[in-house]
Amino acid sequence: MTETLGERPWMTSAETRAVFDALEARGGPGCARFVGGCVRNTLLGARVDDIDIATPLTPDDVMQALKAAGLKVVPTGVEHGTVTAVSGGRPYEITTLRRDVETDGRRAVVAFTGDWHEDAERRDFTMNALYAGRDGAIFDPTGRGVDDARAGRVIFVGDPHVRLAEDYLRILRFFRFHAWYGRGAPDAAALGACAAHKDSLSTLAAERISKELLKLLAAEDPRQSVALMAETGVLEALVPGATELSRFNALVEIELEQLFSNDALLRLSALTADDEVAAARLAERLRLSNDQRDRLVASKGQSPRITSWMSPRELRRAVYRIGARAFADRVKLAWAASPRTATTPQWRGLLALGESWSPPAFPITGDDVMSAGVPKGPMVGQVLAEVEDWWIDHDFIDDKFSAIEKLKAVAQGMAY
């Protein structure tokens, strides 16, 4: 009996039907199938984010068919057979069946084919080499994709060494898929192949590595995968100095216990020592965005010191100085590095207070300083800084008159 996904809303929506109708008008019934993650995730009861479609139609035929149906076409990767259709505002990635002609571990030269089995043979894992018709009927060319997906087995299609040599990013994808879908012990052959080829990760673009690494760390519980990466030397190849596994494990446990979101960047921070310079180097190595770099570096700061017994006043001072996001990050990292059983209520309280307190605006401006007789120039900033320190020490006193009086005193004491 043929396995089936049944009819799911994402499969039967008007937007999806429009894409299939367009392709079948060109290639006939059955010329297109859902493929990869949408099939796998539906089979496992997981959320479907992206809808990918495979077809023996050439990219030119696909584009002509979509245009004839009045759908928007984006030629996202025509040389590799990929076209994106936009139907009802939703993107659908459509790829022509293909086989690899030449690979170098980073990119492939492909030839288009009409053979579904050939297309399946070039895919990475058996659970990803699954296809389904628009009626939900599953096509499993490897003969084991359905069983492996349900059992949580991340198995390479064919020889893992061959699959890795086609694209060394699959080393990281193996650990990522194990983190998201794996259960039990990892496949020994796959693990051995990943360890054998770890040095080839250096040939990959940093942006590809960081994207895959952050996806891995965003899994609900990536602890086993990260431990396996450490054991095989893959983690050190990707993130030099990633030795803080106990803190990383504790952070994941805290997130799970406290129902916090899975924070990939903070988990990355937890893996490495608290060194702002090293964090900046890691951000550059991984080509992180400016915002990601700034957050990673800020999470490593050691001043002010974060403790579970901070007073509300000390907490407000810290939030004002480093910002609410950096404060929350440092609290979670300190929490993960501490004996947590007895101090959980205190750490939780710090987070709540930090999130609920909105820092007030400093009531003194540069114009106020110059009105007090300080000439325009560097001295204005120095006076502002001294008065702001006083204002913070007085717990952000809500009294501009007192702040002006302090300003006058500081200005009178300055030698211009």
What DSSP assignment string belongs to 206-219? HHHHHHHHHHHHTS
Domain 1-151 CATH class label: alpha beta
pLDDT at 416 over 60: no
pLDDT at 281 over 60: yes
Distance CA 155, CA 149 (A): 9
- For the stretch 140-157, pLDDT in tens is 999 999 999 999 999 999
pLDDT at 415: 59
Distance CA 84, CA 143 (A): 29
pLDDT at 106 over 60: no
- Going by pLDDT thresholds of 50, 70 and 90, the confidence category of residue 121 is very high
- For the stretch 13-56, pLDDT in tens is 999 999 999 999 999 999 999 999 999 999 999 999 999 999 99
- Going by pLDDT thresholds of 50, 70 and 90, the confidence category of residue 107 is low
- The whole-model pTM stands at 0.89
Mean pLDDT value across residues 303-329: 94
If phi > 0 it is left, if psi is from -120 to 50 it is alpha, else beta; for residue 89 that is left
Give residue limits of the domains in the chain: 1-151, 301-356, 366-413
Question: Cα 292–293–294 angle (5° rounding)?
Answer: 95
Distance CA 119, CA 64 (A): 22
Distance CA 62, CA 26 (A): 8
Q: Which residues contact 30 (CB under 8 A, 6 or more apart)?
A: 24, 133
pLDDT at 414: 72
Distance CA 251, CA 270 (A): 7
- Going by pLDDT thresholds of 50, 70 and 90, the confidence category of residue 100 is confident
Mean pLDDT computed over every residue of the chain: 93
